[in-house]
Amino acid sequence: MTFFEGRILAIESSCDETSAAVVDGRTIRSNIIATQIELHAKWGGVVPEAAARAHLENILPVIEEALQVAGVSLADLAAVAVTNRPGLVGALSVGVSAAKTLAFLQRIPLIGIHHLEGHLSSVLSLPGEVPLPMISLIASGGHTELVLVRAWGDYEILAETRDDAAGEAFDKGARLLGLGMPGGAAIQRAAVDGNPKRYRLPVALSADSYTFSFSGLKTAMLRLTETEGSGLSVADAAASLQEAVVRSLAERSVRVAMDTNAASFALVGGVAANLALRTRLADSLRREAIPFFTPAPELCTDNAAMIGLAASWRLARGDRSNWDLEVSPGSELPVA
């Protein structure tokens, strides 16, 4: 695999993190993340208008810090990469405007990157080659997908969720249990002392279809809090919820990896930061002799370094964007 020679400034602002990174070849020189979690916590979800304004406030300080930590100036940059799809239009526009301006003034290449291709490329932060074809589970706040990566840039989505994403199951469960945001990390913490077998929560797994479903889990959690009332053990409920999500993701993942004769399996996206999920998949895939890769937890949740890694192999292939690069709220993974 070939990577771009030269330093890439990467920018990510698709949702509620403002992030900038400097990536050199496949080496991450800096990765700065300003999160807006506290801003949105009081509304219980991301407010698009507030997100865009916070990005506007944070974007230059975050870029400046990324350059400083990497020990480079604007003149040392060889390209600028930015998430331009999918995401909140106002949020994306802030990152794309900044990226365009910097690339234009420095007269260096600009490249727009698909957010999910960024998550997929986060495994390239690990040393060595990742054998292809690979099955990658992208599990985040908005996505739960099993993607066949035949080659970098050549993807096929084999399984999707029919309703909620895995991250949403964590976030909604955390809200019902009175735990804070971000929900996934809060559930993981609360589950440490919990008994995952205490409460029976349904895991929807139809035998014949490659489909995830997490909305039943949300309803079951609501019912559980209503029937148990003040007698509910938050730790046991958190552990039971985590177990249900992990089991659903892991069973389907291993089956798809085996059915497709995958040469490797990768776990990426915000939910990939979950320790129970990482351990379960590592164990199950080892039993099937399928090599397992997952980036460090801070590269699983939204960050600009993964955008820089995707840009690095794309730029090395000669891909470039024009000055009229657009943003798009919904967009399929690129093919080739």
Number of residues that bind Zn ion (CB under 5 A): 2
Write down the residue that tokens 């915000």 correspond to: 270
Cβ nearer to Zn ion, comparing 243 with 302: 302
Residues paired with residue 146 on neighbouring β-strands, in sequence order: 137, 159
Binding of ligand KG4 by 270 (CB under 6 A): yes
Q: Does residue 194 bind ligand KG4 (CB under 6 A)?
A: no
Nearest Cα neighbor of 9 from 98, 121, 133 is 98
Cβ distance to ligand KG4 smaller for residue 167 or 196: 167
Q: What is the nearest approach in angstroms of ligand KG4 to the Cβ of residue 316?
A: 25
Decide: is 301 part of the binding site for ligand KG4 (CB under 6 A).
Answer: yes
Quick one: which of 112, 141, 196, 308 contacts ligand KG4 (CB under 6 A)? 141
Length of the chain: 336
Cβ(199)–Cβ(240) below 8 Å: yes
The smaller minimum CB distance to Zn ion, of residues 168 and 302, is found at 302
270-309: contacts with Zn ion (CB under 5 A): 302
Q: Quote the least distance from Cβ 283 to Zn ion, whole Å.
A: 25
| 182 near ligand KG4, rule: CB under 6 A | yes
- Write the binding mask 134 to 173 for Zn ion: x where contact by CB under 5 A, - elsewhere: ------x---------------------------------
Number of residues counted as binding ligand KG4 (CB under 6 A): 19
Q: How far is the CB of 119 from ligand KG4 (least distance, A)?
A: 6
Signed CA dihedral, 69, 73, 74, 76: sign only: negative
- Each residue 77-106 as x (binds Zn ion by CB under 5 A) or -, in order, gives ------------------------------
Span between the terminal Cα atoms of the chain, in Å = 15
Residue 312 contacts which entry, ligand KG4, Zn ion, none (Cβ below 5-8 A, type-dependent): none
Measured from the CB atom, is 171 or 302 closer to Zn ion?
Answer: 302
Surface-to-core class of residue 2, CB atoms within 10 Å of its CB (0-12 exposed, 13-18 middle, 19+ buried): exposed
- Picked from Zn ion, ligand KG4, none, the partner binding residue 185 (CB below 5 to 8 A depending on kind) is ligand KG4
Q: Which is nearer to ligand KG4, 67 or 274 (CB)?
A: 274
Helix 234-259 with 183-191: angle, nearest 10 deg: 110
Q: Any contact of residue 142 with ligand KG4 (CB under 6 A)?
A: yes
Query: Applying CB under 6 A, which of residues 273, 299, 305, 309 lies at the interface with ligand KG4?
Result: 273
Residue in 267, 176, 202, 188 with CA at minimum distance from that of residue 235: 188
Shortest reach from residue 14's CB to ligand KG4, in Å: 7
Positions in the binding site for ligand KG4 (CB under 6 A)? 15, 140-142, 167, 170-171, 182-185, 188, 269-271, 273-274, 301-302
Positions in the binding site for Zn ion (CB under 5 A)? 140, 302
